């Protein structure tokens, strides 16, 4: 079974309610609530052993990340987060204080965005902890930063740096080592405490048109989602990819590409917009010391995602990032 094929089979061609503006297939669903604003809702689950390990992350860190990954999907819709609900399936290996600490980790981030916890559900499970967070947000009625919004000639951009999170995980799992303590800590923090790019999403939402996706499964996978949804090709340049000093120190070029292109969980925003809007975005972000980098262009001459390597070869980037069931 393939995760993406399965989800495609769940899509319906119409909705009972006309107010549904975006259904299955983007980072969050959007439905009309008033003339001027729409509501945005998403849900992501984190499973012990699949998304986190109890012996490398504290309950606070796990809670923080469970909320952060959802706020990231809200940010990718150009929306702001308002409320959250938490469903939790608890095995006997988790004690009450650990669970309260997990909620404290969520609260820490919720306070930053002034989000209210509205409810949830509590059940038992045999073996592994499962945390499911739903976030409800709000977006300006005329904003649609959909994956399908790319156009021929667009600039492809990404916020922040890519690859840090999966390198941080490799460090946590002791698959690799790094002597520089501050670089090591930086990469691990990027894995455990990703920053949802809400402010960046707000800047992008002000552009005339933009496609947008957050990076959960890996840069190559998210670019393929934009390419598929927009039915256009994307070409990125390896030399332009924003890579942190810490990651450069850690990786040989083979490992670097694995982390940067296919690693996932960066929770940066990747998108496309017109040349004119890109100039505007770049200037605004520069004024606010926000990191956003041009990494490529959208093309109509093919329908795949390609990368021009540093030695000037063009390779196809398959949608082969993180795929549940295809491990």
Ligand X SMILES: Cc1ncc(C[n+]2csc(CCOP(=O)(O)OP(=O)(O)O)c2C)c(N)n1
Ligand Y SMILES: Nc1ncnc2c1ncn2[C@@H]1O[C@H](COP(=O)(O)OP(=O)(O)O)[C@@H](O)[C@H]1O
Which 181-240 positions form the footprint of ligand X (CB under 6 A)? Answer: 216-217
Alpha-carbon separation of residue 26 from 73, 133, 247, 298 (angstroms):
9, 17, 30, 19
Q: 24 contacts which partner out of ligand X, Mg ion, ligand Y, none, CB within 5 to 8 A by kind?
A: ligand Y
Does residue 27 belong to the site contacting Mg ion (CB under 5 A)?
yes
Among residues 21, 25, 58, 125, which is the contact residue for ligand Y, using CB under 6 A? 25
Extract the tokens encoding 156: 């492809």
Among residues 7, 20, 53, 118, which is the contact residue for ligand X, using CB under 6 A? 53
Alpha-carbon separation of residue 278 from 155, 220, 241 (angstroms):
7, 21, 16
Helix (H) or strand (E) holding 81: strand 80-90
Extract the tokens encoding 285: 């972000």
Per-residue contact string for residues 1-20; x = within reach of ligand Y by CB under 6 A: ------x--x----------
DSSP string covering 134-175: EEEEEEETT----GGG--TTPEEEEES-SSHHHHHHHHHTTS
37-47/233-237 β-pairing: unpaired
Q: How far is the CB of 303 from ligand X (least distance, A)?
A: 22
Opening angle at CA 154, ends 308 and 214, nearest 5: 80
Among residues 48, 60, 73, 266, which is the contact residue for ligand Y, using CB under 6 A? 73
Among residues 28, 69, 80, 236, which is the contact residue for ligand X, using CB under 6 A? 69
Which 54-113 positions form the footprint of Mg ion (CB under 5 A)? Answer: 73
DSSP 3-state of 104: helix
**CB closer to ligand Y, 42 vs 256:** 42
**CB closer to Mg ion, 27 vs 138:** 27
**CB closer to Mg ion, 44 vs 61:** 44
Euclidean distance between CA atoms 46 and 55, whole angstroms: 16
Per-residue contact string for residues 264-303; x = within reach of ligand X by CB under 6 A: xx--------------------------------------
Q: How far is the CB of 56 from Mg ion (least distance, A)?
A: 21
- Using alpha carbons, select from 142, 150, 146 the residue that is nearest to residue 272: 150
Does residue 200 belong to the site contacting ligand Y (CB under 6 A)?
no
- Using alpha carbons, select from 206, 270, 208 the residue that is nearest to residue 236: 270
Does residue 123 belong to the site contacting ligand Y (CB under 6 A)?
no
Site of interaction with ligand Y (CB under 6 A): 7, 10, 24-27, 44, 73, 216
Site of interaction with Mg ion (CB under 5 A): 27, 44, 73, 214, 216
């Amino acid at each position: 079974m393939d995760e993406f094929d399965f989800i495609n089979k769940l899509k319906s061609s119409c909705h009972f309610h006309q107010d549904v503006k975006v259904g299955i297939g983007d980072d969050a669903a959007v439905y009309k609530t008033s003339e001027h604003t729409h509501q945005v809702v998403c849900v992501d689950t984190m499973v012990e052993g699949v998304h986190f390990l109890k012996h490398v992350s504290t309950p606070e860190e796990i809670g923080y990340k469970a909320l952060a990954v959802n706020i990231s999907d809200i940010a990718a819709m150009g929306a702001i987060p308002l409320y959250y609900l938490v469903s939790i399936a608890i095995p006997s290996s988790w004690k009450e204080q650990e669970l309260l600490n997990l909620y404290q980790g969520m609260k820490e981030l919720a306070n930053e965005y002034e989000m209210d916890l509205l409810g949830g559900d509590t059940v038992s499970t045999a073996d592994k902890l499962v945390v499911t967070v739903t976030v409800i947000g709000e977006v300006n009625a005329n904003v649609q930063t959909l994956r399908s919004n790319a156009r021929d000639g667009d600039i492809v951009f990404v916020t922040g740096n890519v690859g840090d999170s999966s390198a941080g995980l490799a460090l946590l799992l002791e698959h690799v080592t790094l002597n520089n303590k501050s670089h090591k800590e930086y990469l691990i923090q990027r894995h455990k405490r990703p920053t949802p790019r809400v402010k960046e999403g707000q800047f992008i939402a002000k552009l005339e048109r933009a496609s947008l996706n957050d990076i959960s499964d890996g840069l190559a996978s998210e670019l393929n989602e934009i390419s598929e949804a927009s039915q256009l090709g994307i070409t990125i340049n390896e030399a332009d990819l924003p890579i942190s000093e810490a990651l450069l120190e850690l990786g040989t070029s083979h490992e670097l590409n694995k982390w940067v292109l296919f690693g996932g969980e960066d929770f940066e925003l990747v998108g496309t917009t017109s040349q004119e809007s890109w100039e505007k975005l770049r200037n605004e972000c520069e004024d606010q010391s926000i990191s956003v980098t041009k990494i490529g262009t959208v093309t109509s001459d093919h329908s795949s995602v390609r990368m021009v390597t540093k030695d000037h070869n063009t390779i196809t980037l398959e949608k082969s990032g993180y795929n549940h069931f295809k491990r």
